Amino acid sequence: MRYLPLAFDLKNRPCLIVGGGSIATRKARLLNKAEARLLVVAPDITDELRQLVLASGGEYIVGRYRRDLLENVEMVVAATADSDVNAQVSSDARAQRLPVNVVDSPQLCTFTFPSIVERGPLAIGISSGGSAPVLTRMLRAQIETLLSPGLGVIAELAGLVRDRVKAALPEAQRKDFWHWVFNGPIVGEVERGHKAEAEQALLQELERWQERPAPSGEVYLVGGGPGDPDLLTFRALRLMQQADVVLYDRLVSSEVLELVRRDAERIYVGKMKQFHSVPQDDINQLLVDLAKEGKKVLRLKGGDPFVFGRGGEEMDKLAEAGVPFQVVPGITAAIGCSAYAGIPLTHRDHAQSVRFITGHLKQGDLVLPWQELITANQTLVFYMGLAGLPTISEKLIAHGMNVDTPAALVEKGTTRDQRVIVGTIATLPELAETHKVGAPALTIIGGVVTLRESLGWYQ
Question: Does 130 count as an annotated binding residue?
Answer: no
Beta strands in 257-343 (DSSP E): 265-268, 271-272, 275-276, 296-301, 325-328
pLDDT at position 276 is: 55
Choice among 175, 271, 292, 395 that is catalytic: 271
User: For the chain, what are the domain ranges?
Assistant: 14-113, 151-210, 218-331, 334-455
* Residue 37 pLDDT exceeds 70: yes
- Catalytic site residue 365? no
Report the share of the chain in percent with pLDDT over 70: 97
> Whole-number mean pLDDT of the chain?
92
Question: Does 346 count as an annotated binding residue?
Answer: no
pLDDT in tens, 331-368: 999 999 999 999 999 999 999 999 999 987 655 678 89
Question: Does 417 count as an annotated binding residue?
Answer: no
Fold of 334-455: 3.30.950
In order, the DSSP letters of 115-126 are EEEEETTEEEEE
pLDDT band at 272 (very low <50, low <70, confident <90, very high): low
* Residue 274 pLDDT exceeds 60: no
Span 33-41, average pLDDT: 96
Tell me if domain 14-113 and domain 334-455 are identical in fold: no
Residues contacting 444, CB < 8 A, separation 6+: 334, 338, 341, 343, 345, 379, 380, 381, 407, 408, 409, 410
pLDDT at position 127 is: 87
pLDDT at position 273 is: 55
Architecture, CATH, for domain 14-113: 3-Layer(aba) Sandwich (3.40)
* Residue 179 pLDDT exceeds 90: no
- Catalytic site residue 249? yes
Which CATH superfamily hosts domain 218-331?
Tetrapyrrole methylase, N-terminal domain (3.40.1010.10)
Span 317-327, average pLDDT: 95
Question: Does 307 count as an annotated binding residue?
Answer: yes
pLDDT at position 7 is: 87
pLDDT in tens, 203-218: 999 999 888 877 778 9
pLDDT at position 216 is: 78
Q: Do residues 199 and 161 make contact, with C-beta atoms less than 8 angstroms apart?
A: yes
pLDDT band at 95 (very low <50, low <70, confident <90, very high): very high
Choice among 92, 228, 244, 249 that is catalytic: 249
pLDDT band at 170 (very low <50, low <70, confident <90, very high): confident
